[in-house]
Chain A
Amino acid sequence: MGITRRELLKAGVGAVALAAVPRPVLAYFGRGPEPVPPIRDPRIKELAFRAVEAARSAGASYVDVRLTHDRARSFSLASLTNIGDTEELTVGVRALVDGYWGFAGGSVWSPEEMVRLGREAVRHARIHALGPARAVELAPRPVVTDAHWQTPVEIDPFEVSPFEIVDYLKGLEYFVARDPQFSLGHNLTRFELREEAFACSDGSYLTQRLYSTEGLATLSYTPEPGQQIRWSVEGLDRASVGWELYKGQPLRDRIERLMEEMREHWKLPVKPVDVGRYAVVFDARSVAGLIDATLGSATELDRALGYEANADGTSYLNDPLAMLGSFEVAHPALTLTGNRSEPGGAATVRWDAEGVEPDEFTIVRDGVLTDFQTTRESAGWLAEYYRGRGQPVRSHGCAVAESGNHAPLQRRPNLVVSPGKESLDFDDLVEGIEEGLAIKGLQIEMDFQGLNGLGLGERVYEVKRGKPVARIIGAGLLFRAPELWKGLTALGGPGSTRRYGLETRKGQPTQVGYHSVTAPAAAFEQVTVIDVLRKA
């Protein structure tokens, strides 16, 4: 049970004091340690440019510096109550010398440390510049001076009393437990606040205050002893929002609807999978997962050129200059765009980790590959293509650093699959199937070239004459990305689109990143269905 107010007063601490947990982190600006000021404080700018200067003096042709002050608060309820608070300072300097990058990062904000990092980053770059020649051309971007941006949030989660949050989350558990067959397996939420400063040798200086929130609530349904299904409540995916992620939506309605869906699911007769090729309707979540795992990954330009070959792998779009503008990657109905500006998008920022203001760009237009995800360095690799189309050679703003203590890496922006023109939703698409399958919440395993995939899921329904008539056990899908997207027969309309927050890991050392994918429901023909548990 939660602590009562009476017990609290007995302990002699006021509720107000509890809400404002004092910040422990300190920085050095020259005299002694001081509590870290808000990110717009001019002394932080001084520190940042001290690192830039040190690197410049040591011989770098380009330097950028990121300082971050990160706070995170996580709540984990259900079986135990665990509340974690972290607060960190990080700083990192990236320097370019003769086409080679060096990076140095740490956790101390002091003038001495800025100088050390600046020199260390250059030292790293110089050591490799002794080797074979390498060229880096950074696509231009405007110099931004003294600009600031903050994620617009309705309710700052760090100003909400932790009591209120625990009470609210516990309330969800009691709400679910009204039905003895249901319980809340996971009940987690995490709030992150990053204050970051970016400084560059071209004089750019900008600051951002970025909020990111994510929740997980998993319903466990035990229709009979020994049988259990567990599905997560939708709508709590990572997003650049505050406490309104929970409070701003009718979460209890969602939970009740999900409980109803679970009951309906269980009532359907069970059938084993019958291998073959089927027309399939996917829900928005499945389509989002499919687009992310195939085109979302294959159009990362660094991946396409082999820079991730030693880690996650490569891309089937492996000849960008030859393929751009002509290669048909999908049915003409498919248009895929990227942005880092949609309100609440998990990858939404005003400026990326290189100070670029990301633009909205079209990756696939009417089924044809038209662009790749880029950073300042990689945009230059497509210069020939951009100039041929009269487009500026510019980064699309996909540089992301997990913290100041990580070097910027190219990551996915928010991806958007344009919906179809007719107002069809998932149920409408299912009604259009004479004989086939309807699948919700598909899980995807791709190969290391983003080419062949295996789809799995619990929610696979046999559809006959437009109605789900059975649930299928053990079904898996085998697909190959180009054939899958060319087999698209219908896209849901704008009313069927949903947004999901996805977490990805990339790089060596690994960095965690988040982005949103917005997609409609969709129907495909001739999808290969196998018995996934069957051995050869």
Chain B
Amino acid sequence: MHEKTSSTSSSPSSSPPTAPTESEGGREYAVDLHDVRKSYKGKVHALRGIEMKAQRGEIFGLLGPNGAGKSTLVKIMLTVVRPTRARGTILGRPIGHQATLRRVGYLPEKHRFPIYQTGRQAIEFVGAMSQVDAKTCRNKADELLDLVGMSDWGDKKVSTYSKGMLQRVGIAAAMVNDPDLVVLDEPTDGVDPVGRKDIRDVLVKIRDRGACVFLNSHLLSELEMVCDRVAILVQGEVAAQGTIEELTSASRRYEITIAGSPPDWTDHNGLSLTSLPGPLDGTSTLALPTAEANEIQDILDQLRRENRTIVSLRPVRETLEDLFMRYVHDPETGRAKAPGAIRNIQASKGGDA
């Protein structure tokens, strides 16, 4: 449990190059994690064997309740926190490979630029630390300030910035090295709705450039709008992972709202109906557990034969929030799982030692 794999304990410069791992679609995995574990003093298990993959050219959302281990996982990827155990690669190199960090951009949660820097200086400084040459840094700073809508503020001290402006400059700084992987921890924290839209547009641009955007956020609606794939982390484990389409496919159904009471039949050609109260008085809703439109045509015909008025027909699927709530609730008790990391006493019950 507590042993360190060679990929994390060996010095970065001596790590052997690893062949880029490819996804089924042929794209290189930007993040390919296996058995990532982190425990503190052997008692608190923040991460319990994370398996996660994110491809280049996609926006990957990491979500989970407070204390699920999201930030710890991100920090392990970026060498800020040392894992208890970790296998896998970041941009095709072992986790902890220092030179690879030149190709990674990062916006930490609640990041803080020194108050004596201007926005431009902050971006250029981050670029210099990523070993980007001075001329490129200057050019990129102009370009990125423009991209995040901060051109007029670039030469003002960051101490005069609002929270949203700091986030914008932080995102610009995360992109100064033209990264192949951009890790953003709560990027829209404190940003107004217009700013969020701008940031979403920026994320899409980064993705379209071929980079992987690894997004850690509490704002499920934001993630749903922009993410290609998501992973839900609960109590240090990946509870679910995939495209939103894949994760919600089981919940896809059609809902037909009709005037009056529901029909007395509950099954038609093998398709069972569930009756629900309608959205308006004097209406009923019929839920049909299928995603195929042709399967509901007979039911619509039957309803018309019974002279029922069809008020609405709509395909329905779980939202990301529904999905999230499903995974963070204990199916046995029906209550939300305890927040935070697993302690030994709980881990032994859960079979994790």
State yes or no: do A and B come from one complex.
Answer: no
Q: Which residues of A contact B (CB under 8 A)?
A: none
Residues of chain B touching chain A, judged by Cβ–Cβ distance below 8 Å, are none
